[in-house]
Amino acid sequence: MRFAVRVTATATAALLTAQFFTLPLHGLWVVLTAIVVTQLSVGGSVHASVEYFVGTLGGAVFAGLVGFAIPHTSVAAQIGVLALVIAPLGFAAAVSPQFRVAPFSAVLVLLISGQLGEGPIGSALTRMAEVALGGAIAVIVSLLIVPVRADRLVREAAAGVLNQMADHLPKILAGVFASPHLAELRAMQDSIGHKVAALQDAVEEVERERPISFTSVPDPAPLPRTLLRLRHDFIIMGRASAEPLPADLNAALKPILDRAGAVISGYFRGCARALTTHHSPLPPLEPVTAELDSCASQLTALQQRELRHLSVAQLEQLFALGFGLEQLQQNVTDLARCVRDWAISPR
């Protein structure tokens, strides 16, 4: 709803501005640019505006120069000039995403300039001015009309990762005794990976927004880095549950892992609430570390007791499980520090 209100305000403001300056085609390029570059957050709008302007600059200037240098009044000449312009711009778009709109801009400069009574150079300059105006309107509206800061997207994305981990951890640990279907296990790992990638995108928008946001937020880099390491821990534990362990270990190991899964999942959900809810307290870390310490010691004792009765592959599973839980304990401590920094920062 916020985005719908903002993009509507952007389109209206762009059209009014275009009418005020009596721009050609009723300000078509100003309105289209303003709508295209308006993103969910202020930082996203800034990045999209800069990228769109760079692409338009490259396409319009190149097309204007070629169109000015080579007359193209006949159909055959227009086709030749169009091919001559689009080929290098298409290559540039393949090399750098900043030039994705360059071929589009070049086509408009070449084909519309004659219809408006403009020369190629004049058309290129007009298009660049309209794109700059549309981008500026989009950024200003994003700052003033129901703004959504990129740090809010970071909080929500990180909370999504943590809630996903809280849902999947008990299932992965339970797979030590009743292995989940490999497709199901892969789907759980992929879903966490996709959410971590979305978090990284939001973090990049925070960096782009910093020069104009005038807000103080923590360094956003450690949070996705910590969650990525936690995802690697999940992968290690998932490999340990690829094949179920013998049933006679069930009575000794299952209660340990069930309890650890419940405690850690509860902690992840508490961290997610602390990130997204103003008055939600930070969950205590001590029960998690105590549970993981207990789990590690009992797992080590079980490995020593069952050393002669297990195959090499089964021992590798137990070692992988223990290593995953050990790494999880270290990364949960880092997570607590990251969540604390974000929870006490202004919103």
Whole-number Å distance between alpha carbons of 307 and 320 = 15
Per-residue confidence (pLDDT) for residue 347, from 0 to 100:
64
Better-scored residue on pLDDT, 74 or 191: 191
Tell whether the model's pLDDT for residue 296 goes beyond 80.
Answer: yes
Q: Judge contact between 252 and 302, C-beta under 8 A.
A: yes
Single pTM value for the model:
0.71
- Tell me which of 97-111, 242-256, 289-303 is least confident: 242-256
pLDDT in tens, 219-277: 888 999 999 999 999 988 888 776 677 766 777 788 888 899 999 999 999 999 999 98
Alpha-carbon distances of 218 from 40, 154, 261, 286, rounded to whole Å: 21, 11, 30, 24
Phi, psi of 20 (to 5 degrees): -65, -40
- Cα separation of 321 and 169, whole Å? 12
| pLDDT tier for residue 113 given thresholds of 50, 70 and 90 | low
Q: Quick one: CATH architecture of 150-344?
A: Up-down Bundle (1.20)
The band of 152, judged by pLDDT with boundaries at 50, 70 and 90, is: confident
Residues of the chain with CATH 1.20.58: 150-344
Confidence of residue 121 (pLDDT cuts 50, 70, 90): confident
49-62 pLDDT per residue, tens: 889 999 999 999 99
The predicted pLDDT at position 213 comes to 59
> Is the confidence at residue 217, as pLDDT, over 80?
no
Q: Percent of the chain beyond pLDDT 70?
A: 93
